[in-house]
Structure 1
Amino acid sequence: MTSGRRWARVRRSGGYLLVSLASGIATVLALPLLCVPRLARLWADWHHDRATRLLGTPMASRPAPRAAGRRAWAGPSTGRDLLWLPVNAITGVAFGLTALLCVGNLLPAAVATALWWAFEPEDRPRPFVDVPVTGWATALTLGPLQIILLTTLAYLCFPMMARVHARICLAVLSHSTAEQLADRVAVLTRTRADVLDAHGAELRRIERDLHDGTQARLVAIAMRLAVARQVLSDNPRNEQFLAELLRDAHEGTEEAMTELRGVIRTVYPPILADRGLVGALTAVTARCGVPTRLNIGDIERVPAAVEAVVYFAVAEALTNVTRHSRATTASVRVSRAADRLSVVVTDNGTGGADDRLGTGLAGIRGRVLALDGTVEIDSPAGGPTTITMELLCGS
């Protein structure tokens, strides 16, 4: 590591420790208020995010609670959040006070070195082990020595102390392996039930479309052909009537084929089979009512189920952009890292998108979660809106 990068890490670690000191003191002063589960959760999330950013790589996930009502903030995470309060008060004050004493004593040392003569004899600085500065000899010796020692201490210890505090934070707040597994099972159980319900509803819709549309037209066609055959048998010279029956049968056949293609298209878009995911997304973005930039990396081969989910999710997201966002530009970025396919849809619209309002975003989330994927929606009021989807697609 270069010297410049090392000093940048020292400064960042020092800032982290000083903020931890303030946080520890605030925890002690506001302890009764922070014992409220919702506030404890928010307080813990903030510390978890700080620790994760300092270490650079998330050590463990911390999924947000999904339950509604009174139990929205109950469960294992609440216990960890409340446990973090005394741990933060102790570690934050201990580590932060050490950093504060180190940084705070650098200033007296600098003052003692240059301005010792400006103080009254009884008030002169005592920079090093409480030794008074009585002349230039002690000022130019003790002051720089204290600066060098404290700077060396900060250089060597601040990054280590900050990492230790961050690891303690993540050890307390991050879910254990068993908790993560239980949470994953709960998510899969819920999404499986949602998928089964959606599957049943989709089958009923397809059956209804075929029964009310395609089947009715096929029955009409069969009746016309039966009449035509009877006419041909009884009066083969009635060509005009036969021509009308055959024309009606031909038109009915084309209409039935059109309806049948429409039903098939809702199951698996033909464009995916014809042009693949890249071509399908290119067509979707080209048809969007808002100018949309498409960026697709090397995604290799993607399972058909994942392709269909990505296609429908991007199509629905861009439809929302056109109808509701008031955006002037949008973008779709698709990339792959190992066995994870990432899809990011952004727009510069007014924001405020919320899948809890029953919009198409709920459908996007349901499709992605059904394949054990994740969806994150960042849409503050005023925009921009970013929808991030990740799906497992095999290595």
Structure 2
Amino acid sequence: MRDMVQRTVRSLQYLLLGLAAGIGALVTVVAGVTGCAVLGVTHLGAPAFLATTSVVRRLAGLERRRAALILPVRIPTPYPAAEAAVVSGRARQRAAHPATWRDTAWLTILFPLTVFCAVLAVVVLAVDLASLTAPAWAWALPPEHRGDPGFMPLATPGRQAVTALAALALLPAATWLVCALATGQARLAAELLKPGRTQQLTERTDHLARTRSRAIDAQAAELRRIERDLHDGAQARIVALGMALALAERRLKTLGPAADQARADLTAARADVNTALDELRHLVRGIHPPILTDRGLDGALTALFADHPLPITSDIRLPRRLAPALEAAAYFLIAEALTNITKHAHATTATVTVHTRPDGTLTVIVTDDGHGGADPDGSGLTGLRRRIEALDGTLTLTSPTGGPTTVQAEIPCAL
């Protein structure tokens, strides 16, 4: 019972406030359209349009807050966060935005809609409450009017009681009608005043792009942390263990032939330690090369080319340091491509080109003069393609039989 009363009161409050809002909306729309039509042929057309749309947006914002009396969630604002600085540009931007016309459409129908809903709700509820309380006030009717058609149900105490009972039975229906009128109007307001489907998808895409960028940065930072921990922790301890074994082996030499077997065991242990250290260093470089953090992509590629068995011609033009995720993706793409060239292409030379285009796209091209015929769906290339696609990039392979083979990646730099 209490919830029904509160809901009905909120609905009445929403509908009655809509009368005042409807009057203001009608005046704004009529005056704004008239002013823009008159001033549209002059230099004051754009300022008049901006002034009108500013008032429309404020009234639409009030409507969104008013709808919160009924709706469980607040209607989000559909307007862009930033607008053009020039008056004419701002006017064109508002004219092109769907929310401007959706707001105007709502304010145009608000007055007749709210008059109909509010009057119907007030009349139905007032008649029902008046009938319910008829025994308390029917005595005040003049005797000559009690026989009128409108007051015949109140002519006698018995009829008054029947009228009150009927009104009590119809009270839930009356309150339901009031709430339904308010809810229907609020939902219609939400459909017109909320962001459109296209804008929602755009905002969702932007949000996903930002969260993905943060996730990629966090992953790159975590890989760098693992690399530092392995380099400064496990690798340092293995080096210390190797030095301890070397010292023990040297001391055993003083014991003569009796320690030959122990020295052999220590030599084997030192070999195992060196092998583990080499594997650990390779693992560290595979996770995230330290030189990539220290010297950037240009320096890391220079070191990579210096260790490669094939002569490599490079053209690297990077005006600035790239984001860590971009540098890592480009580095591992080139490293994997050069490894595949060495293993499978039977090439005699390779060419690597890295540069950024004016539109902010990082382009990486690796070409060899091998026999070609590379499989575009191979496991190595699939892994590289997934790494590049995670950054909104594309990876293409051109490898006709007889060569040459070209691996090209394009990655947007705006991470």
TM-score bracket, normalised by the shorter chain, equals 0.3 to 0.5
TM-score, scaled relative to structure 2: 0.35
Looking at CA atoms only, which structure, 1 or 2, has the larger radius of gyration? 2
TM-score, scaled relative to structure 1: 0.37
